Chain A
């Protein structure tokens, strides 16, 4: 079992604000890290799969960085919009399995 921790558990931001949250994981035997966005009653949507230390990926207003040596990844949202409201999940690839954190629930207030 791989221990994946996410913080904060939840946060509220005003529309237009930028925000970020953290995923921490064991740095040994790293293979890949996944970020998902999960809206209620919908499928978790894959945002990024990151494999290389120092990697930075971007998708529109959302970006993510990865530090495998110290065991963390940051997800950034620039200029948050109400449609960004969702739970953001981080997961680590283990042996034929994904180990998830408990997620960060983001609410963007119009």
Chain B
């Protein structure tokens, strides 16, 4: 298993500002993902964070809005840019190694945009 921590655990932000969320894993992992859960909705994949290259974004998500960094195999950041109230969600980091069925999640960052 993998132990994943996220910072911050929660934040309240003003419209138009940006927030960077950090994800730290206690072991090297190949695959790292960012999800969000909007109120009343399913957990939805935003992007796959690729080490040393640009993230791979899912339909409906773009790099300008959600820039992602992955400098090594244990760390990634997700920035929520130019926030609006619709960005209020729980953002979760997740990891998996190839060939393994189990996928592990961080505790999430609860973001409220006013």
Contact = CB atoms under 8 A, between A and B. Distances in A.
A4 B43 CA distance: 11
Contact of A51 (B4, B48, B101): B101
Interface stretch (A13-21, A40-48, A66-74, A78-86): A40-48
B101 A97 contact: no
Given A34-B103, A49-B101, A100 B4 contact: no
Contacts, number: 45
B103 A101 contact: no
Contact of B103 (A4, A41, A51, A98): A98
Interface string B100-112: 0111111110100
Nearest to A45: B105
Contact of A46 (B40, B42, B104): B104
B53 interface: no
Contact of A101 (B31, B40, B42, B106): B42
A53 interface: no
Interface residues of A, number: 22
A103 B94 CA distance: 18
A46 B102 contact: yes
Given A93-B101, A96-B48, A43 B42 contact: no
Interface in A54-110: 89, 91, 93, 96-103
Contact of A49 (B9, B48, B102): B102
Interface of B: 4, 9, 31, 33, 40-45, 48, 58, 92, 94, 101-108, 110
Interface of A: 4, 32, 34, 36, 41-44, 46, 49, 51, 89, 91, 93, 96-103
